[in-house]
Structure 1
Amino acid sequence: MSPSDDGLGDARRAGLERPGAFPPAVFNAPLLRGLDERARREIAEAGRLRSLALDEVAYRAGEAGGAFFVVASGRLSLRATRRGDDRETEVRAAAPGDVLGEEAVVGAPRRTTAVALAPSVIAEIPVHLFRRAAGRSGKAEIAEKLERALRRSATRDLLSTLAFTRDLEPEDIEILLDAVSHRRFERGQAVYRQGDPAAELWLIAEGMVQIQTEEGDRIHVRAYLTRGDFFGDVELGGGRRRAASAVASGAATLLSVPAKTFAALARRHPDLIPRLRRITGEQHAAQEAVVAGHAQGHTAHVFRDLYRLEVARSLLVIDLETCARCGHCAWSCADVHGVSRLVRRGDKVIARVDDGGQAAGQGAPRSLLLPNSCQHCESPACMIECPTGAIGKDTGGEVFIRDALCTGCGACAKACPWENIAIAPRPAAAPRPGGAGFEDLAVKCDLCRGHVAPACVEACPTGSLFRVNPAEEIADVRDLLGGARREHARGAGAGGPRSDAALLAGSAIAAAGIGAAGLLAHAAGAARPGDGAAWAAGAAAAAGVALLLLYAVPKRAARWSWMRRLRRGGERGEHGDGGERDDAGDAAPVRSRLRPQLSAHLAIGLVTAGLALAHAPWPRSGRPTLGAALHLVFWATAAAGAFTAVAYRVAPRRLARIERTAALPEDFAAARREHLDRFYREVSGRSDLVKKLVEKVLVPYLQRPLGPLALLASGRSLREEERALRARIDAILEGRGAERLAGLAELIRIAVELRALPAQRALLGALRAGLPAHIVSFGVAAALLVLHALTAGARP
């Protein structure tokens, strides 16, 4: 295993030296002074010294970290962008003996960016090894004291990055440090419930919290709050109760500030509460603008699991409006890894993705599938739960599994909230911990580690797959969370329609011109297939067929045809971009390598058709000849290819409109039966009015023979069709019986899905039917062409 494979190569290149004795300045630091000789020796053996040049970055804000640092020599600046600011400011400076990176003690990502102000040396001390060494030294009280000191220091740095503390004095910060306590909440756990007494203010150190109100079984989301936000201040004082509930959207670490401490700070700073109200009000107004107006209703789909989109740093997205459902992404993944690590099932969301050709977030909402594939979280739950340290995260944010350390215990698979890790039989060639046993292995997407870019993205013939950082590149998520827009968006990975259209239009014009000129020449008797320009056109058409045949090679040979391996010592960017740069010096987006080839295939096919016409028009003789058979099969394969190309352009957008999730062909077999079972279960127990509406409106709606075709022709989405059907029912009722319509909305939803099923099958069939016919007829045409060339060459 090479250094880059085990995760240590990056560290060595970054300046990590071999373990050894720490300089005296390290253990003279106030934090470590109480340790005995044994603890010092174990920490020095487990830790590393790191040398930094002037302006070199020790770590960046947002990176995961399992170690803290002690400055041995030099000086470092800790910088952060406070909430609401547009630039970094210095939080504090660290001199010899000072500690930095303490947030690792509480399991949080780096809060600040540490930059060397002078040539410096820092000692890196892994947190878990520090705890073990301090505990073994027999000085449990010292270990506990050090732990408290580290937590306090980490909390100080966190508070320094919050807008909440912007105008507080140092003594106010000390008051907060004395009073706050860390609390850990798991996904779905309530911080407090609507109606509970208000006893504290909450600050979010890590994770996301959803503010919501409940009305019976219905939940109304009021706000999403993330790292650096605060909440729970509105009801403090006067014995008021909580007006809404606060629930952790994912694993979250919060700081609790008692109401008395908050009241004391408010008395010392009379402007504190008005300023907090203004910050909270501005944030809620911005989110409500996205939800109520700007998002035009589609952002509700994003709400289903906003936490997932907030923590993901390299999320695989399939644009369903261009995806041909060919499955080549999963096939290429299996070709590279032996078994596909991509499952084309998952959540469907409708959101705006930044496109290089659009202003920020101004593009139309697109139907996106989030398939089951590792999204390389900012703070991976799988990495925390792994007992052997087999899961690592490199400097580009790529989360990977070291086979040599993985025991196949399944802890990571259980920890992943989105089931993106599987336990599979260990390949015979894969290394084993200890060299024996451990027949299972955890597998997941590793962005095709060791290669320049992920195979699934590069293999998509329509360019529908791309990797994004949702908090920056999915406009609705960014607007809801208040994130910054990436200037060079990756969402354009599915782009390029203008250049494709220009190429195909030019090829069509050229083909029409060549074909028309040839037909006119043959009609005038100025051309013969075996002579002059007509013969040259035939030879060029044969060359075109050969080029068309070559298109199949890169599609079927991912590992040796176009999958490029990283150069030794190479690094990849956060989206698996292989370190390539665009003209502006930014990391170049990973794009499909087959899409340009598909466009070229179509362009060559058009020109080849024009050349075939110029070579020889349709044979006028009624006799069955080899030339006539070649003509027939050639134009059959051309028709099949044209049908497939049109289906690839037209069907995906219409299919995306009328599907709730991206269905695979095998899903349709039982879908109608399941929908009908749901429909009749929902009717049972409903009011007589609802049953009458089912009989008079919904059943005829389902039985209409041309209903699916009408749905396609209308251009409506499923939601729009539901609204139209409900409007018909409301017109019939004229406002009567509203109190007896419980369950009607779900019945309408199922009825619309049932009507859409035949249309979905027809569109999917159109996407899949043309290609086999094109391939088979092309093979026959190629064989006939060879015979035609041989027989024509044999004639005198």
Structure 2
Amino acid sequence: MPSSDHTHGSARGVEFQQSHTWPPGVFDAPLLRGLDERARRELAEAGRLLTLAADEVVYRAGDAGDAFFVVASGRIGLHARRRGDDRDTEVRAAAQGELLGEEAVVGTPRRTTAVALAPSVVAEIPVHLFRRATGRSGGAEVAQRLERALRRSATRDLLGTLAFTRDLDPEDTEILLDAVGHRRFERGQAVYRAGDPATELWLIAEGMVQIQTEDGDRIHVRAYLTRGDFFGDVELDEGRSRAASAVASGPATLLSVPSKAFAALARKHPDLIPRLRRIAGEQQAVQEAVVAGHARHVTAHVFRDLYRLQVARSLLVIDLETCARCGHCAWSCADVHGVSRLVRRGDKVLARVAEGSGHAVRPEAPQSLLLPNSCQHCESPACMIDCPTGAIGKDTGGEVFIRDALCTGCGACAKACPWENIAIAPRPASAPRPGGAGFPDIAVKCDLCRDHDGPACVKACPTGSIFRINPAEEIADVRDLLGGARREQERAAAAPRSDAALLAGSALAAVGIGAAGLLAQADGGARPGEGAAWAAGVAAAAGMALLLLYAVPKRAARWLWVRRAPAEADRRAPAEAGDAAPVRSRLRPHLSGHLAIGLVTAGLALAHAPWPRSGRPTLGAALHLVFWATAAAGGFTAIAYRLAPRRLARIERTAALPEDFDAARRELLDRFYRAVSGRSDLVKKLVEKILVPYLRNPLGPLALLASGRGLAEEERALRARIDAVLEGRGAERLAGLSELTRIAVELRALPAQRGLLRALRAGLPVHIITFGVAVALLVLHAIATTSVPR
């Protein structure tokens, strides 16, 4: 059974050999020495031998892995970068018979980068096969002993990558190894709560922990701690109870150091803890600056699920301030895969997208981003761990995909995904079935269109609003908070160009051409069927033909879905995950060109002939009427595309689809009436005198749009009205008023949201219908004019 795709995917030029007889050096390793012949044969048949040249990579830090390695010959160096360092440190060198990659046993990604120091041969042993073989070979007792040995070895390497152990000598490391314990915490699980006795120091081997205090239902996050950080030392050192709670933001693997071992290390190294606390203090100060500074009011939503943004490696986001809500993204996904793997519902966040992300951004300005339901290709996918058949893999580019031939449709992956980004759907007739029969369902999720030349949803977006990013690098606040690498210099050249210059130039050209034509015809120097005016009419007809061609790439977009060659799709270079230029919309340039051609065509139409003055119902008059109707509808749609999304983004709590509004209104009304129940008489009086009239005002939604305020600003304005009435009285009886105010504002915003969505959608059907009529009339007009002798 081959190992997963990603275990050794970082290596280049690696020669894989399979053999039923491994070199003696493999089974001379202390861990494997006691295995019987059957267990050795099973490992040799299922594992692999990797032949490596000097300087070739076995795996890289951060890679997921489900196998460990034994050095058969040569030497493998393990390198890691500790927190606060600017270069890698050699953790150790593994020689013949020694192990590497043991972190797979404890379920964490690779903590080190393994590089061949000389020509080497290593044996790759999948962890689950090792456990099965050892259980059969020596029974439960032997299997447990070998498991403990692997865990100790893995812990040694983990400790070697932490700044906490930088100055410890081998004796201290052995003391720690004897004392530490592994603990696994799931998302939302408390490591400890405020008030608990302090009995341990905690080191984060993998995952994220937030230190928080609770004030009723409100949570105040004091710090975000990630891989390599430690916590719980202050209360331990001072002998007092926990001052705050520590909660896992996602699945986390922690190492616990008992108080006695911590005290012994603190006595032996009195400068160690203060120095590390200074580093931690500097990190916390940076976090507080991000959260409490410019991000306090505009990006707080980003931090609600910081773990999600930390683990995602290819997060699909939609810029709601430019998205026309046309649905092309979901339609294109369904066109490629048969069923859409993208749902335009999800969390809305406010964040600063970093320069160089490949998307047009406003420096230092937050953007309203929708995180739709679509696979985000996590660093350590929970779905892959829980798949019982190994159907989910991760390729060398970091893309998580599903092997249809192994998927039974059991749904384990869908349950494991914390963000519900995997669905179970009927198996297509063309999809292979495990065992050749049965299993009518199959798991589906975004695989970045790995069989095609880039994600279809991104390429098909006419406004370029949907794109994929690595949040830890390309969402500025997340990057600053977690200390991620900056990529502006690497990819600044990839930023898309604005179409403002093209449209401004086209508008000026249209005005100039139209004005010149009108002046010439007013002076009697030009006639529609002669000279320059006739040429303008021919050019306008050509412009209409070019405008019609816009429907080809937009409506018949299969030309966008370029398939990869099978070998290219199966073996993706690691560079494709981040270093390559980002995929951008291929329809956005067509839309910009369509608008530019439309402006120039309007100018040419004016230059060809002004509005007929006779008033008689002629073919030319009908063509004029319909042409300017389609131009007006197109212009309305273009203006709506430019202005409505940004206004809409400001007044929506979540990005709703049209079919969501009725249910959202019922839910908000239900919440409003339930929130009124049980409140003080003062609150009920304020609801009756201020909030109910506020909700019943038929012009309220228009007033909200005209004010330009967002939801938070509208809440403050409404609360200011209430405070003006109260004049500082009854503050102790206002419990629940803030929630009622929030709900009232959302209820007023719903009709405004619906109106803006209608504005986005209303102009396009009219534009298409009138354009079709205009083309038909143009053909008749051309036939009529060419049949008349000039």
Alignment TM class, shorter chain as reference: over 0.9
Match of 1:587 among 580, 586, 610: 580
| Aligned residue in 1 for 2:565 | 567
C-alpha distance in 1, partners of 2:251/2:542?
60
Match of 1:776 among 751, 757, 769: 769
**Superposition deviation, residue 491 in structure 1:** 10
**Superposition deviation, residue 694 in structure 1:** 1.4
**Superposition deviation, residue 671 in structure 1:** 3.1
| Aligned residue in 1 for 2:223 | 223
Whether the aligned pair in 2 keeps the contact of 1:453 and 1:577 (CA below 8 Å) is no
| Aligned residue in 2 for 1:603 | 596
| Aligned residue in 2 for 1:406 | 407
| Aligned residue in 1 for 2:155 | 155
**Superposition deviation, residue 182 in structure 1:** 0.6
| Aligned residue in 2 for 1:79 | 79
Whether the aligned pair in 2 keeps the contact of 1:317 and 1:467 (CA below 8 Å) is yes
Whether the aligned pair in 1 keeps the contact of 2:12 and 2:57 (CA below 8 Å) is no
C-alpha distance in 1, partners of 2:209/2:256?
14
Give yes or no for the alignment of 1:765 onto 2:763: no
Q: Which amino acid aligns with 2:338?
A: G
* Unmatched runs of 5 consecutive residues or more in structure 1: none
Give yes or no for the alignment of 1:612 onto 2:605: yes
C-alpha distance in 2, partners of 1:7/1:136?
25
**Superposition deviation, residue 745 in structure 1:** 0.2
- How do residues 178-257 of structure 1 correspond to structure 2 at under 5 angstroms? 178-237=178-237, 239-257=239-257
Whether the aligned pair in 2 keeps the contact of 1:459 and 1:594 (CA below 8 Å) is yes
Name whichever of 146-155 and 770-779 sits farther off.
146-155
| Aligned residue in 2 for 1:305 | 305
Whether the aligned pair in 1 keeps the contact of 2:69 and 2:99 (CA below 8 Å) is yes
Normalising by structure 2, we get a TM-score of 0.95
| Aligned residue in 1 for 2:452 | 451
| Aligned residue in 1 for 2:681 | 688
| Aligned residue in 2 for 1:523 | 522
**Superposition deviation, residue 177 in structure 1:** 0.8
Whether the aligned pair in 2 keeps the contact of 1:554 and 1:561 (CA below 8 Å) is yes
Whether the aligned pair in 2 keeps the contact of 1:355 and 1:489 (CA below 8 Å) is no
| Aligned residue in 2 for 1:287 | 287
Whether the aligned pair in 1 keeps the contact of 2:5 and 2:396 (CA below 8 Å) is no
**Superposition deviation, residue 648 in structure 1:** 0.5
| Aligned residue in 1 for 2:441 | 440
Whether the aligned pair in 2 keeps the contact of 1:353 and 1:491 (CA below 8 Å) is no
Distance change (3 Å), C-alpha of 1:565 and 1:444: same
Distance change (3 Å), C-alpha of 1:356 and 1:155: same
- How do residues 475-494 of structure 1 correspond to structure 2 at under 5 angstroms? 475-487=476-488
Summarize deviations over 1:241-295 as a string: whole Å, max 9, x none: 1111111111111111101000000000011221132122222211111111131
Whether the aligned pair in 2 keeps the contact of 1:515 and 1:612 (CA below 8 Å) is yes
Distance change (3 Å), C-alpha of 1:759 and 1:570: same
- How do residues 294-693 of structure 1 correspond to structure 2 at under 5 angstroms? 294-356=294-356, 363-487=364-488, 496=496, 499-558=498-557, 560-570=558-568, 579=576, 586-693=579-686
Match of 1:254, SS state, is strand
Summarize deviations over 1:519-551 as a string: whole Å, max 9, x none: 222222222222332222222212211111111
**Superposition deviation, residue 379 in structure 1:** 0.8
C-alpha distance in 2, partners of 1:572/1:481?
33
Q: Which amino acid aligns with 2:143?
A: A
Summarize deviations over 1:85-120 as a string: whole Å, max 9, x none: 222222222222221111111111110111222222
C-alpha distance in 2, partners of 1:634/1:373?
41
Whether the aligned pair in 1 keeps the contact of 2:353 and 2:361 (CA below 8 Å) is no
Distance change (3 Å), C-alpha of 1:437 and 1:11: farther
Q: Which amino acid aligns with 1:113?
A: T
**Superposition deviation, residue 316 in structure 1:** 0.6
Distance change (3 Å), C-alpha of 1:13 and 1:634: farther
C-alpha distance in 2, partners of 1:94/1:533?
83
Match of 1:661, SS state, is coil
**Superposition deviation, residue 303 in structure 1:** 2.2
**Superposition deviation, residue 730 in structure 1:** 2.1
Summarize deviations over 1:693-751 as a string: whole Å, max 9, x none: 11222223223343222222222210111112222222332322111000000010011
C-alpha distance in 1, partners of 2:220/2:11?
46
**Superposition deviation, residue 510 in structure 1:** 1.3
C-alpha distance in 2, partners of 1:754/1:781?
42
Summarize deviations over 1:367-421 as a string: whole Å, max 9, x none: 1111111111111111111100011111111111111111111111111111111
Match of 2:235, SS state, is coil
C-alpha distance in 2, partners of 1:163/1:341?
42
Match of 1:367, SS state, is strand
Distance change (3 Å), C-alpha of 1:316 and 1:16: same
Name whichever of 18-27 and 504-513 sits farther off.
18-27
Summarize deviations over 1:541-593 as a string: whole Å, max 9, x none: 122111111111122233x311122234326999x999499xxxx41011111
C-alpha distance in 1, partners of 2:147/2:776?
77
Match of 1:434, SS state, is helix
Whether the aligned pair in 2 keeps the contact of 1:4 and 1:10 (CA below 8 Å) is no
Q: Which amino acid aligns with 1:445?
A: C
Q: Which amino acid aligns with 1:562?
A: L
Whether the aligned pair in 2 keeps the contact of 1:473 and 1:490 (CA below 8 Å) is no
**Superposition deviation, residue 656 in structure 1:** 0.4
Q: Which amino acid aligns with 1:16?
A: F
**Superposition deviation, residue 8 in structure 1:** 11
Distance change (3 Å), C-alpha of 1:337 and 1:113: same
Match of 2:225, SS state, is strand
**Superposition deviation, residue 761 in structure 1:** 1.4
Whether the aligned pair in 2 keeps the contact of 1:468 and 1:491 (CA below 8 Å) is no
Whether the aligned pair in 1 keeps the contact of 2:80 and 2:89 (CA below 8 Å) is yes
Normalising by structure 1, we get a TM-score of 0.94
C-alpha distance in 2, partners of 1:428/1:731?
67
Q: Which amino acid aligns with 2:151?
A: R
| Aligned residue in 2 for 1:710 | 703
C-alpha distance in 2, partners of 1:382/1:580?
20
C-alpha distance in 2, partners of 1:776/1:734?
58
Q: Which amino acid aligns with 1:503?
A: L
Match of 1:355, SS state, is coil
Whether the aligned pair in 1 keeps the contact of 2:321 and 2:367 (CA below 8 Å) is yes
**Superposition deviation, residue 353 in structure 1:** 0.9
C-alpha distance in 1, partners of 2:764/2:309?
35
| Aligned residue in 2 for 1:175 | 175
Distance change (3 Å), C-alpha of 1:267 and 1:175: same
Whether the aligned pair in 1 keeps the contact of 2:6 and 2:63 (CA below 8 Å) is no
Distance change (3 Å), C-alpha of 1:642 and 1:5: farther
C-alpha distance in 2, partners of 1:491/1:471?
17
Match of 1:223, SS state, is strand
Whether the aligned pair in 1 keeps the contact of 2:202 and 2:232 (CA below 8 Å) is yes
C-alpha distance in 1, partners of 2:143/2:343?
46
Summarize deviations over 1:665-717 as a string: whole Å, max 9, x none: 11122433332332222112111111121122222322334322222222221
Distance change (3 Å), C-alpha of 1:505 and 1:553: same
Whether the aligned pair in 2 keeps the contact of 1:447 and 1:454 (CA below 8 Å) is yes
Whether the aligned pair in 1 keeps the contact of 2:298 and 2:366 (CA below 8 Å) is yes
**Superposition deviation, residue 35 in structure 1:** 1.8
Name whichever of 678-687 and 57-66 sits farther off.
678-687
C-alpha distance in 1, partners of 2:361/2:344?
29
Distance change (3 Å), C-alpha of 1:748 and 1:627: same
**Superposition deviation, residue 361 in structure 1:** 10
Match of 2:614, SS state, is coil
**Superposition deviation, residue 10 in structure 1:** 9.6
Whether the aligned pair in 1 keeps the contact of 2:71 and 2:98 (CA below 8 Å) is yes
Match of 1:188, SS state, is coil
Whether the aligned pair in 2 keeps the contact of 1:348 and 1:660 (CA below 8 Å) is yes
